[in-house]
Structure 1
Amino acid sequence: MPLDAADLKISMQTAWILVGMAGLVLLAIATAWAIAIERIWSGRPVIPTRSGRPVPWGGPQVFASFFLWQFATLAMAELLRALRGEEDEPNLVTAMSAVALINLAILIVVPGFLALWNQARAIDFGLVWDRVGRDLILGVLTAIFCLPLIYGVQLTAILIWPPTPHPLMEMLFAERSPWVMILGILSAVIFAPAAEELLFRGVLQGWLEKRFGVTRPTRADDEVSELSSNDLQPGLNPRVANLTALVVPAAVFAIVHFGQWPAPLPLFVLAIALGLLYRRTKSIVAPIAAHATFNGLSTIAMIVIVLMVPKVEPEVVPIPGEPGVSAPEEATVDAEAEPLQAGESANSEENPTR
C-alpha cells in the first residue's frame, strides 16, 4: 500500500507521542554508546569474551537442519496454495501464522534432532541458566548500539533502490485488528529471531568455528574432549578462518531475505554484529535478544504507522470514455454509455483504434 504525505494527518497529541518515542530511542542509543566508551576507557572489552566448548555436530547435521527448514517452508507454501486455490489471492494473516508455526517447529525439532544424532546438550548452544539474564541485557544493548549503523545503511540503500513492501507491513495494513498485531509481534519479535539465530549462529556458525579452529580452548572443568584433526581445516590462515566463519552465516542470512530488497544490505550488517556477539559469548541467547530488539523496534514502528494512517476504502473510479470526452455528471448511466464503460468506443467500427 503506497503512502502519500496527505494520508499522514495526525493530531498534535500523536505527534508528541512520536517525538517522545524517538527521544527514548535516542536516549537508549546514547546510553549504549556511553557504556561502550566507558568500558573502552577503562581498558575492558566492550563484549566480554568467554571460553566455549566446540559444538558436537558436523557438516551433515548442518545441511540436514537447513534442509528441514526449507522443506517445511516449501511444504507449507504448497499446502496453503492447495487450500486457497490457484486463482485466489494469498491470505497474509494465514501466511504469517504458517511462518510462525514453522519457526516454532524449528525451535523444537532441530535441537531434538541434534540431541539424538550428536548428543547435543543445552550447553552446546550456550544455554547456561546463570548467564541468561546477563546475555539478554548484553544482546539488547548491542542491538541499540548498532542501530545508527544499521539504519544508516538502510537509509542509504532505500535512496538508491525503491524498497520492497514488507509482508508484515502489508498484513498490518490489510487487517488492522489487535489480534493481527499480536500475531505480528509473536512472529517477528519472538519466533523468527529465536529460530533464525538457532540456525544461522548456533548451528551454522558454531560448526564453521569448530571446522576452522576458531572456537577458543575450553576450561578443564567443561569436560570436553579435544578436537580431532578431521574437525580442523589444515593450512588456513587464522584471520581468514575467523572472517570466513563470521561472514558466511551473515551472507546466507542476508540472501534468505533477498526478496525484500534492499533489506539484505542492512541485515548483513546486523548479522555481522550478531555473529560477533555469538563468538564472544559462545551463546545464542545474546544474539536472539539483539535480533528480537531490532525486530521489535521495527515492528513497533510499523504498528505506529498503521495506527497513524486512516483506513481508506477503495473508491469507485469512473471508467473514462474516449480521450477528450469528460465523464457524465449524472450518477446514472444510460444504455448508450454502456459500451464506453466496457472499454469500447462508440465509433469503433468507423475509426478502429487497434
Structure 2
Amino acid sequence: MLAQEAQDLFLTWADLAILPVSLLALSLVWLQYQAGVLAPWAPRRSVPWGALAMTPAVFLVVNVLTPAPANPSPETDIPFVSLAIADSVFKLSIVAVIVAVMIRSGTTWRDLGVPESWAVAYADAKLGVLTTLACLGPIVLIQAAMVWGLQFPYEHPTLEALADVADPGVLAAVTLSAVLTAPLFEELIFRVLFQGAIERLEWVWLVVRRRRLESGKGAEDEIDEEMGAEALEEARGEIDSQPNEATFGGMAFGWPSVLASSAAFALVHLGQGPAPIALFFFAGVLGWLYLRTHRITPGLFAHMALNLTVVAGTAMGAWLGG
C-alpha cells in the first residue's frame, strides 16, 4: 500500500513539475509561430497514392471498434517481454514491407516524408521535442480533468506491466515497443499514408474546382475528358504555398486530412481510459506539423518524446514504489 502511495505521489508531483516547463515551451512555440518561423510551409507535390493507402489505418480502427468475442481465448503464459518484442518485430516488418512496396512502385523517399539531409532531420528533431514539451501541459490537464474530475480511470496494459514490475527487461521491452516501434509504425500509417491520401484528394478537388471556374462551368456541370486530364496533370505538380481556398466542409486546405487522421489515431487508442481525448489533441498537432513540413520526422520525434516521457515517468514511479 505504501509502495503504491509513493508511486502515485511521485507521478502527481511529476505532472505538476511538467506544467511550468510546458508553459515555457508554449511561449517559445507561440513566439516562433508569430514570427512565421515555426514549421514553415515546405513546397511539395501531393503524394502519389490514393485511398487504397488508407486501408491500414482503417483496418486498425475497425479492429478496435469490433466487439470482442463472447468467449475470449484464455490468457497466455508467454512472458510480457516476449510479447512486446514480437509486437515490435511485427510492426517493424509491416513498415519495411510497406516502404519496400511503395519504393518499388515508384514512390520517392521525399513522398514518404524522409528529410533530404541530416541537417533537416536534426531541425525536425528539435521541433518535435519542443512540440512535445509544449503539449505536455495541456495533455496533463486533459488527463487530470478526466481521471480526477470525471473519475475516468486511465488504462494502458503496457504501462501497467511496467508499473507492476520494476524490471530492466520489461523496461527495455517497453522502450523498444512504445518509444521506438509504435511511433514509427503509427506516424507512417496515420500521418504519411492516411493523412497524405486525404490531402491529395483535397488538392485534386481544388484543382478541378479551379478548372471549372476558369471554364465558366458550374459545380454540377460535368467536365470533359481533356479538362479532367489537365486537372490531374496539374495536381501532380508542386504545391509551392498553402492554398487559400476552402476545401471539404468549408475548412482550410489540409485541415480535413488533419482532423481525419487525428480521429483515426484517437480511435485506435480506445480502451485506454481517457487517453483518446488527449491523443486527439496531440495527433492534431502532429497532423499540423506534417501538413506544414510534409515530412514524417517532426511528428515522429514528437511522438517518440511523448512516449519516452510517459515510459520514463512510469518506470521511475515503479522504481520508487518497488
Count of matched residue positions in the alignment of Structure 1 and Structure 2? 278
1:268 aligns with one of 247, 270, 280: 280
Aligned to 1:54: 46
Aligned to 1:190: 180
Displacement, 1:109?
1.2
SS in 2 for 1:213: helix
Displacement, 1:6?
6.2
Aligned to 1:122: 109
Cα distance in structure 2, aligned partners of 1:190 and 1:261: 23
Letter in 2 for 1:226: E
SS in 2 for 1:162: coil
- 8 Å CA contact 2:289–2:299 kept in 1: the answer is yes
Displacement, 1:277?
0.7
Identify the structure with the greater helix proportion. 2
**After superposition, what is the alpha-carbon deviation per residue over 1:255-276, rounded to whole angstroms, capped at 9, x for unaligned?**
1110112111101111101100
Cα distance in structure 1, aligned partners of 2:206 and 2:90: 33
Aligned to 2:193: 203
2:308 aligns with one of 289, 296, 300: 296
Check if 1:248 corresponds to 2:260: yes
Aligned to 1:166: 156
**After superposition, what is the alpha-carbon deviation per residue over 1:40-60, rounded to whole angstroms, capped at 9, x for unaligned?**
55x324332211221111112
Check if 1:32 corresponds to 2:25: yes
Amino-acid identity (%): 26
- 8 Å CA contact 2:269–2:275 kept in 1: the answer is yes
Cα distance in structure 1, aligned partners of 2:101 and 2:80: 31
Letter in 2 for 1:110: I
Check if 1:8 corresponds to 2:17: no
- 8 Å CA contact 2:15–2:140 kept in 1: the answer is no
CA RMSD for the aligned pairs?
3.6
- 8 Å CA contact 2:50–2:197 kept in 1: the answer is yes
Check if 1:309 corresponds to 2:321: yes
- 8 Å CA contact 1:53–1:215 kept in 2: the answer is no
Letter in 1 for 2:270: F
Displacement, 1:226?
3.0
Q: Higher Cα Rg: structure 1 or 2?
A: 1
- 8 Å CA contact 2:195–2:261 kept in 1: the answer is yes
**After superposition, what is the alpha-carbon deviation per residue over 1:199-255, rounded to whole angstroms, capped at 9, x for unaligned?**
0000000110011118999xxxxxx96326xxxxx9845516533211111111111
Aligned to 1:330: none
CA gap of 1:6–1:236, structure 2 versus 1, over 3 A, is closer
Structure 1 unaligned residues grouped into runs of 5+: 74-80, 218-223, 229-233, 311-354
Aligned to 1:112: 100
Cα distance in structure 2, aligned partners of 1:216 and 1:303: 49
- Report the more deviating stretch, 44-53 or 246-255: 44-53
**After superposition, what is the alpha-carbon deviation per residue over 1:6-36, rounded to whole angstroms, capped at 9, x for unaligned?**
64358xxx97xx979975x456434423422
Q: Normalised by the size of structure 1, how large is the TM-score?
A: 0.68
SS in 2 for 1:179: helix
Q: Normalised by the size of structure 2, how large is the TM-score?
A: 0.74
CA gap of 1:215–1:51, structure 2 versus 1, over 3 A, is farther
1:134 aligns with one of 113, 123, 128: 123
- 8 Å CA contact 1:40–1:46 kept in 2: the answer is yes
Structure 2 unaligned residues grouped into runs of 5+: 65-71, 208-231, 237-245
Displacement, 1:90?
6.0
Aligned to 1:93: 81
**After superposition, what is the alpha-carbon deviation per residue over 1:288-337, rounded to whole angstroms, capped at 9, x for unaligned?**
01111111111111001110112xxxxxxxxxxxxxxxxxxxxxxxxxxx
Matches within 5 A, 1:328-347: none
